[in-house]
Amino acid sequence: MWSCMIYNETGGNVEAELCQDLGLILSVLSLFYLVVCFPVSLCYNALLVAVNLSNKVSMTMPDVYFVNMAIAGLVLNLVAPVELLGPGFTRWPAWEYDDEVYITLLILFNVSSLVIMYSTTLLSLDYYIERALPRTYMSSVYNTKHVCGFIWGGAVLTSFSSLLFYVCNHVSAKIMECSKMQNREAADTIMLLIGYAVPAVAVLYASTLILRIRKEATPLDQDSARLDPSTHRLLLVCVCMQFALWTPYYASLLVLTLAEAPGARATGTRQATAYAFLCGVAQVLAFCSSFAMPLIYQQMNQSFSHRLQRLLKRLPCGDRTCPHEHTAAVQQAAT
């Protein structure tokens, strides 16, 4: 909980001012995200999902991965208002949540982060396969949909294993099975290794392969079955943006894993306050992932605007005659 009451009790004026300033900055950041980024993220993620699912025939392998990232972004949008208006991010919390709500938010956040990171990773690997072997259909839309199903299932299972540590950290120590698992750092270690270290190594490996194959000009480069060249730029920006936004969050887990949380050992110190502030900023940046990805996709995907126009043309216009239907009727009458 973000509170500076302990400084007032101990008489630390400098530390109290620092705590209040950092708390105010974190509150402003949270409010900015909720007012500006949250509605844009919600609209664009929903639009990305609707446009692609309404044009399933025209979907490509990258589209499927971006749809999964958009769905994960919508889950983050459910977590963000509850989390950012809670006592951990603002000096004026809208509500107080108990352990059950905290664990629920944590699981949803972890599932979303795993889906986003692994969708980015497998997009890189499948892009290399498509570049190297364009007619093998190993990275087809059909296969990608099944892969994404495994991503969601694996994310839920991984989060469930982490959930055991958090649950056991809140129940009675008399339970023998849980008394051996009361270690929150173990859950953070699982997320750090599986959610960041493994995807980072895989993306680095895929990027090396992609750069190597792009340097080798072959007759297959003119193959019509290859992906749109703009997909490479979209992939590059997506990978860089995702790791830039999620690295601070996983770095905070690394600090917690290696050196324990400073606040757990020196509550009320300047070090604990700075650590809590940096963790809050890192989590806000992670929430920004759901805001940045659909905007990048909308700007860099050349076919998105055309598919969006087709979707809008199919929408019902109520009691009024749709403009495109009226134009078609006039043309038929003229002929």
Cα distance between residue 73 and residue 288, in whole Å: 9
Q: Which residue do the tokens 């208002």 mark?
A: 81
Q: What is the DSSP string of 179-217?
A: HT---HHHHHHHHHIIIIIHHHHHHHHHHHHHHHHHHS-
**pLDDT value for 330:** 39
**pLDDT value for 325:** 44
Lowest mean pLDDT among 153-167, 195-209, 285-299, 314-328: 314-328
The better pLDDT of the pair 100, 296 is held by 296
Predicted confidence band of residue 196 (pLDDT cuts 50, 70, 90): very high
Other CB atoms within a 10 A radius of the CB of residue 45 amount to 27
What is the mean predicted confidence (pLDDT) over 191-215? 88
318: left (phi over 0), alpha (psi -120 to 50) or beta: left
Predicted confidence band of residue 246 (pLDDT cuts 50, 70, 90): very high
Q: pLDDT by residue (tens digit) across 280-309?
A: 899 999 999 999 999 999 888 878 888 888
Cα distance between residue 202 and residue 119, in whole Å: 12
Q: pLDDT by residue (tens digit) across 36-90?
A: 999 999 999 999 999 998 888 888 888 999 999 999 999 999 999 988 888 777 7
Cα distance between residue 68 and residue 156, in whole Å: 14
What's the pTM value of the predicted model, to 2 decimals? 0.82
The better pLDDT of the pair 34, 211 is held by 34
What residues contact residue 191 under an 8 Å CB cut-off, 6+ apart? 110, 113, 158, 162, 250, 253
Query: Which among 134, 125, 137, 124 has a CA at the least distance from the CA of 221?
Result: 134
**pLDDT value for 65:** 93
Instruction: Supply 274's token pair.
Output: 């700075």
Residue 97 pLDDT > 90, yes or no?
A: no
- CATH 1.20.1070.10 describes domain 47-82+97-215+225-308: yes
Domain boundaries, the chain: 47-82+97-215+225-308
